Amino acid sequence: TKREPLEFRIKAGTRDGQRIRLAGKGNAGMNGGPAGDLFLIIKAGTQPVFSRNGDDIYVTVPVTMTEAALGTKIDVPTIDTHNGGGRTQLKIPPGTQAGQKLRLREKGVQSAAREGTRGDQIVEVKVVVPKVQDERSKEILRELAKLNPEDPREELFKDL
């Protein structure tokens, strides 16, 4: 038995649970035969902002009620740490709903299987409702409700 430091390369895009084979770096062969292979099983760490599914990256981004209603451009974090410090601009279309998913093409993980391709980044919108405490803001919201009287629950009772 002996210990020996090894250097090995992990391709960008390698997934959690994937195996890497290092030929000839395993146990010594029987009767002076060649050494076996060493298999490494990758255990990827977690990250509080992003999650991964295949080569796609998922992130939930809060937007205000007015940003979702009127549309805007916002900065969202990305996994890229070069070119702008891990952020890019995303257009929030007018009328964006809570839970809506917007796609940033090729902002995901580099594919380990298909060289030169990247997954996408999927941004789920989380609409943050303001905690209205002053009377003027309440007045404005009441006026808004009068101007837009739609009932979002109407479909629930349509067939009852």
Q: What is the pLDDT of residues 64-94, one digit of tens each?
A: 999 999 999 999 999 886 555 688 999 999 9
Please give the Cα distance from 126 to 63 (Å, whole number).
Answer: 6
139's enclosing H/E stretch is helix 135-147
Model confidence pLDDT, tens digit, residues 9-46: 887 777 788 888 888 888 888 888 888 898 989 887 77
pLDDT confidence band for 115 (50 / 70 / 90): confident
Which parts of 110-150 are beta strand (E)?
121-128
Quick one: pLDDT at residue 29? 82
81/59: higher pLDDT: 59
Kindly tell me if the per-residue pLDDT of 105 is higher than 90: yes
**Phi/psi at 136 (5° precision):** -60, -45
